[in-house]
Structure 1
Amino acid sequence: MAGGGRINDEDVKAVRDAVPIDSVVSEYLQLKNAGGGNLKGLCPFHDEKSPSFQVSPAKGLFHCFGCQEGGDTITFVMKVDHLTFSEAVERLAAQAGITLRYEEGGYNPSHQRGERIRLIEAHKIAAQFYAEQLATGPEADTGRKFLAERGFDQAAAEHFNVGYSPQGWDHLTRYLRGKGFTDKEILTSGLAQEGRRGPIDRFRGRLMWPIRDIGGEVVGFGARKLYESDNGPKYLNTPDTPVYRKSQVLYGIDLAKKDIAKSSRAVVVEGYTDVMACHLAGVTTAIATCGTAFGGDHIKILRRLLMDNGTSRVIFTFDGDSAGQKAALRAFEDDQKFAAETYIAIAPDGMDPCELRLAKGDDAVADLVQPRTPLFEFALRQIVARYDLDTPAGRAAALDEAAPVVAKIKNVGAQHEVAVQLAGMLGILDTQFVVHRVAQLARWARDRGGRGPAPANGPRHPQDGPRHPQDGPGAAHRATAPTAPGSRAASGPPLNLRNPVHATERELVKLALQRPELVSPAFDAYGVDEFTAPPYAAVRQAIQDAGGAEAGAQDPQEYLIRVREAAPDDTVRSMVTELAVEAIMVRRPVDENYAGEQLVAVRRRAVDRRIQEIQSSLARLGHQGDPAQLAAVQNELWVLQQYGQALRERGAAAL
């Protein structure tokens, strides 16, 4: 627990109600309309090509039909930011301005809060401290001059919250102590380091850029050297801490994320001032890595925002020097992880965006990042340029180095096209020779990998197309998901959802979760054994244990929370979330008539099954059985047959 006790249940409910789930989720990924009041996007919990992650704002729930992760707003924050329940509630409460009460010991004193919350708070206070120093501190003239020389005024500094760290040993450390932070917290945050006589400020006499996570929280700093007397590196970054991993943060992502998602375009630059220059020039999709090469974790952050569709663009701006070219080639190695098209933009005279803005103005920066050269083409030209293409030996050697690069392109059509371009770059007239060479290398690479058949729940080939919600999310998962010992089975035989029995049971349980007012009070009279598919029987039991569907008509959101809590294990809980979020599969109004048809279909099949059982019993008893027993069984058979007839003729009115 993060706090000094359990958070008051009413306050947890208030937090759930106050913060809409779609506003929280859209801080992390792009959401689009999925129909039926739901939204969809690329799942942040597993890699996928087409969006199977759905959010239901009306129900306050999310569910991924690919990896089966699901839950409410609090669950999402816990999972995406690796927080405890209390920490997630505290973060959402802070956003909503709700003061939490704790069951033991009254209000939660600050020193008892969770580590992450405390470290984030320390960074927030440090960012304010540094910004005030830059704005008003006489010592910060050097920092203000540095910014002015690069075309940034005080308004620009405030927009990016740029600050200044004083030159003394422990100005920030003493300030944080005054705010109630312990030396251990200040050291753990990376804002201070161990000195001879205790903690000293890590950043001294430097220009400070706060680095925020995608949710907008300050998690670290990038610090630029200003004085010759400073023996440290030109740029000094926060070390890895419980809240900061340099391979997992992108400077400017908090400012750029909405425009990246909206335009399906991102511009990757090299430094903090380049991000500032781009944003001030109107290129508001610019971001930068923080003291590390652009890599796989950065790609994951961008892919979620870009939705990875065919129109997405990622433009890298690198210096024209050899270090910039190496950075471009490294980026190309990761290029295949994008479905987005990647380009490289190199400014004239090797200027970076900051220098270009200063020399030629905002328009020149905006023009620079218009898609220029495809990244693969730039990478190949860098390789080819090292060889003498006027000789057969030079062309052969260039082909030997370049062909394996082309062979890494996964899309076969694109691979063929680039191989043809490579032949042109090399001046090899026999284009087919180059194409065959690349294809051969690609085949060898696949064979060497020795890949077996894809796992049943593994990534699908993009050409397989999206799964239909009725076809895909359940069968394999529900057949193999582990069930907690002693719990009611949520798995069982694989569900064939083309089987009308299972499909109708699924629809009825979905209605009971999503539109309880349409199936009440009849649904609550249905026995668990009327559902033949074990997962739906388990959800029916959870609804019963939560007080029934009729209660859900009064407070739908609270009802879903109770049903999820009543689930005996995570497998059933995941199924509840899935069915609460999945669209009701009907191309007509979801009304009492539709609900009545599902109720009748499930009940009729239950009646038919019971009739078959009784007829089987009568056949076994024959004429030798006890007359009283035979009469009772025959009477039950007659009643059921009459009930079945009434259901067929009168539908829901006979229930």
Structure 2
Amino acid sequence: MGMAGRITRQSIDTVLEAIDLKSVVEEHVSLRTAGIGSYKGLCPFHDERTPSFHVTPAKGFYHCFGCQESGDAIKFVMEIQHTSFTETIEILAARANISLEYEEGSAPEGPTLATRQRMLQAHQIADEFYQHALQSPAGIEGRTFLEKKGFDKQDAEHFGVGYAPHGWGNLLSHLQQRGFSLEELTETGLFSEGRRGLYDRFRNRLMWPIKDMTGNTIGYGARQLADDDNGPKYLNTPETSLYKKSQVLYGLDLAKKEVAKQRQLVVVEGYTDVMAAHLAGITTAVATCGTAFGEGHVRIARRLITDDGSGGEIIFTFDGDEAGQKAAMRAFEFDNQIVAKTFVAVAPEGQDPNDLRQQYGDDAVRQLISSREPLFEFAIKTRLKEYNLDSVEGRTGALHYAAPIVNEIRDPLMRDGYIRELAGWLGMDVDSVHRAVQRAPKASDTRQHQDRRSSQHDAPVQPTQNYRPDLRDPVARMEKEALEVILQRPESLSQEQWKALFSSQFKVPVYNAIQAAILAAARNAQDTSNWVQHVTAEVPQALYSFVTELAVAPLPASTEEEVLRYSRDIMNRLLEMQITEQKADLIGKLQRWDSASDPEGFQSIQQRLVELENQRRFLRPID
């Protein structure tokens, strides 16, 4: 699609007049009145505790007295969304429902890479396509899944849930018919690229649209429906220019008004939990998308709840099992950046909000959130259960564990409070606990050591540390490169690549053991957040540093695009090798088969050969 020329000056002025700067800013920052015609909030461009970011809508300007950033609506959008000037005008025009005029012939005609606008359009069409498919006869599995989870048609519509049908090119041809070029489609992350070109990334999966704050779909979370569908339970859109998982929260487009109003953010684990919470009246619920709640999310949360120390709360819901507790501990690690009070809510039997709602109704979900306890308390009490507090050794051990954590609390009043609490929990006198806390190193220094300890498992004996595969062997080298990609970029794998990974056996023993851990992690994890930790939890201690080494090995690529291409090629080479082996096995089987006595068996082997050949041709162009 050729770009029209430059946007006329008149069009730009029309857009600027029509745009209400306050409403543009409020999509990212909660604003409070600061005198007549002026508003203030926490600056999105630097970290601050007290609001010094001022907006004067009548004049159309913002200014931050902290970092001196200032500008109008156009500059604000450009800075926040990293868009070009033209793209920004297009975004704002679409928002104000203004059609733009372009100067004729002022810019070269010719294909441009997908503009943000085009990518958003592609997602909007994909939304309609998936939602339509969910209600079509083909979507029966998806509808059944939702019903089993307690959601009806109306709920699905409210959250825009859809279904990606079976087949390689359904969405692809649909978008091509709507005039999208292959270059544009490649950039959307909706497609995987085999060696024969693009094909639908999501097939036979339930689709949750992930939206930005303004309600534009920018990516998807996709859950597998078939139990025999090997591969990860959830597949997400890979990182694209639109979709940055570390800066996106699922459900925030629906929650942001209430989050700002109630100054509360509830973080649940999965997409169905967000649905359950909202339907139960907890309209401040969001979930991370295939990544842990990290720095980027903290920033968004703080700006929305105007976290200036005067209140506001972030509540994490975790299930009660080991993984949930580990997640709580991780949240606790950067709790220091959050001034808002941080809480944890865990159901008595460890159910997630969706299970609770199904078993006990909406009330139970609301009760779960109101039963929250301070994250701090939860983190310490959870660990104290591991010590026998009736013995002196047990109490001393527990104090050694807890002291560095308490020492990390910045607020001295709060720290003293917790010292008293801790003394109570341990049955020790306040003074000795106080001394232990003062002498303790900071928790962050001892944490590395602790992580190592918690990942020990009684696993079958594996090759020991000094066993190094010979990388001159092409199979070993290929398996090593594939593992680096899988550990570092799990989201870049396509569904076929996962499938093949599940149905294959790595040859090199140490790599085979790591592959087994990867498959266990992919089956058990909700998504790929803290992916490497999930994998290390599944390997024996002897292989721990093997995995971390693969996880940090530099990939031979400098741009995001090259990384994706490199990952794809490595995985495809590996799969091709495996397909070739499977075919050789089958051909041997056919030659030994007595086709007269069992013609059906004979045919099914032949059919499997055809399938494998198709799979292989998908990976490689016809030579």
8 Å contact from structure 2 (residues 6, 107) kept in 1:
no
Mark the CA change 1:443 to 1:145 in structure 2 (over 3 Å): closer, same or farther.
closer
Equivalent residue number for residue 532 of structure 1 = none
Instruction: Give me the whole-angstrom Cα distance separating, in 2, the residues matched to 1:82 and 1:76.
Output: 10
Secondary structure (helix, strand or coil) at the match of 1:319 reads: coil
Equivalent residue number for residue 82 of structure 2 = 82
Equivalent residue number for residue 360 of structure 1 = 360
Whichever residue aligns with residue 426 of structure 2, its letter is L
Secondary structure (helix, strand or coil) at the match of 2:349 reads: helix
1:295 is displaced (CA, Å) by: 1.3
Question: Larger C-alpha radius of gyration, 1 or 2?
Answer: 1
1:94 is displaced (CA, Å) by: 0.7
Whichever residue aligns with residue 386 of structure 2, its letter is R
1:196 is displaced (CA, Å) by: 4.0
CA shift digits 1:305-338 (9 cap, x unpaired): 0101432111111001111111111111111111
Instruction: Give me the whole-angstrom Cα distance separating, in 2, the residues matched to 1:104 and 1:414.
Output: 65
Equivalent residue number for residue 275 of structure 2 = 276
Whichever residue aligns with residue 334 of structure 2, its letter is D
Equivalent residue number for residue 439 of structure 2 = 440
8 Å contact from structure 2 (residues 190, 201) kept in 1:
yes
Equivalent residue number for residue 653 of structure 1 = none
Are 1:92 and 2:92 matched, yes or no? yes
Whichever residue aligns with residue 276 of structure 1, its letter is M
Equivalent residue number for residue 472 of structure 1 = none
Map 1:27-46; keep pairs closer than 5 Å: 27-46=27-46
Equivalent residue number for residue 180 of structure 1 = 179
Secondary structure (helix, strand or coil) at the match of 1:336 reads: helix
Equivalent residue number for residue 119 of structure 2 = 119
Instruction: Give me the whole-angstrom Cα distance separating, in 1, the residues matched to 2:23 and 2:107.
Output: 28
Map 1:495-534; keep pairs closer than 5 Å: none
Whichever residue aligns with residue 144 of structure 2, its letter is K
Equivalent residue number for residue 322 of structure 2 = 322
8 Å contact from structure 1 (residues 3, 86) kept in 2:
no
Equivalent residue number for residue 396 of structure 1 = 396
1:52 is displaced (CA, Å) by: 0.3
Secondary structure (helix, strand or coil) at the match of 1:268 reads: strand
Instruction: Give me the whole-angstrom Cα distance separating, in 1, the residues matched to 2:443 and 2:235.
Output: 44
1:106 is displaced (CA, Å) by: 8.2
1:108 is displaced (CA, Å) by: 11
Are 1:214 and 2:249 matched, yes or no? no
Secondary structure (helix, strand or coil) at the match of 1:132 reads: helix
1:366 is displaced (CA, Å) by: 1.1
CA-based RMSD: 2.0
Whichever residue aligns with residue 376 of structure 1, its letter is F
Equivalent residue number for residue 572 of structure 2 = none
Instruction: Give me the whole-angstrom Cα distance separating, in 1, the residues matched to 2:353 and 2:108.
Output: 47
Mark the CA change 1:109 to 1:210 in structure 2 (over 3 Å): closer, same or farther.
farther
CA shift digits 1:24-68 (9 cap, x unpaired): 111111110000310111011111001000100110111111011
Map 1:234-245; keep pairs closer than 5 Å: 234-245=233-244
8 Å contact from structure 2 (residues 127, 209) kept in 1:
yes
Equivalent residue number for residue 311 of structure 2 = 311
CA shift digits 1:355-405 (9 cap, x unpaired): 111111111111111152110000001121111111111111111111111
Aligned length: 443
Secondary structure (helix, strand or coil) at the match of 1:54 reads: strand
Equivalent residue number for residue 223 of structure 2 = 224
1:232 is displaced (CA, Å) by: 1.8
Map 1:466-545; keep pairs closer than 5 Å: none
CA shift digits 1:572-606 (9 cap, x unpaired): xxxxxxxxxxxxxxxxxxxxxxxxxxxxxxxxxxx
Equivalent residue number for residue 255 of structure 1 = 254
Instruction: Give me the whole-angstrom Cα distance separating, in 2, the residues matched to 1:419 and 1:246.
Output: 38
CA shift digits 1:511-532 (9 cap, x unpaired): xxxxxxxxxxxxxxxxxxxxxx
Instruction: Give me the whole-angstrom Cα distance separating, in 2, the residues matched to 1:409 and 1:3.
Output: 55
1:73 is displaced (CA, Å) by: 0.7
1:114 is displaced (CA, Å) by: 5.4
Instruction: Give me the whole-angstrom Cα distance separating, in 2, the residues matched to 1:68 and 1:98.
Output: 31
Instruction: Give me the whole-angstrom Cα distance separating, in 2, the residues matched to 1:184 and 1:411.
Output: 53
1:340 is displaced (CA, Å) by: 0.5
Mark the CA change 1:167 to 1:7 in structure 2 (over 3 Å): closer, same or farther.
same
Please give the TM-score of this superposition, normalised by the length of structure 2.
0.69
Are 1:161 and 2:152 matched, yes or no? no
1:118 is displaced (CA, Å) by: 2.0
Unaligned runs of 5+ in 2: 446-623
Are 1:409 and 2:412 matched, yes or no? no
Whichever residue aligns with residue 201 of structure 2, its letter is R
8 Å contact from structure 1 (residues 332, 379) kept in 2:
yes
Are 1:145 and 2:140 matched, yes or no? no
8 Å contact from structure 1 (residues 266, 286) kept in 2:
yes
Mark the CA change 1:329 to 1:443 in structure 2 (over 3 Å): closer, same or farther.
closer
Instruction: Give me the whole-angstrom Cα distance separating, in 1, the residues matched to 2:224 and 2:296.
Output: 28
Q: Which moved more, 1:278-287 or 1:405-414?
A: 405-414
Instruction: Give me the whole-angstrom Cα distance separating, in 1, the residues matched to 2:100 and 2:268.
Output: 41
Mark the CA change 1:271 to 1:110 in structure 2 (over 3 Å): closer, same or farther.
farther
Mark the CA change 1:88 to 1:76 in structure 2 (over 3 Å): closer, same or farther.
same
8 Å contact from structure 2 (residues 3, 111) kept in 1:
no
1:274 is displaced (CA, Å) by: 0.3
Mark the CA change 1:109 to 1:32 in structure 2 (over 3 Å): closer, same or farther.
farther
Please give the TM-score of this superposition, normalised by the length of structure 1.
0.66
8 Å contact from structure 1 (residues 130, 164) kept in 2:
yes
Instruction: Give me the whole-angstrom Cα distance separating, in 2, the residues matched to 1:409 and 1:104.
Output: 62
CA shift digits 1:479-521 (9 cap, x unpaired): xxxxxxxxxxxxxxxxxxxxxxxxxxxxxxxxxxxxxxxxxxx
Equivalent residue number for residue 128 of structure 2 = 128
Equivalent residue number for residue 618 of structure 2 = none
Equivalent residue number for residue 347 of structure 1 = 347
Instruction: Give me the whole-angstrom Cα distance separating, in 2, the residues matched to 1:298 and 1:270.
Output: 14
Equivalent residue number for residue 170 of structure 1 = 169
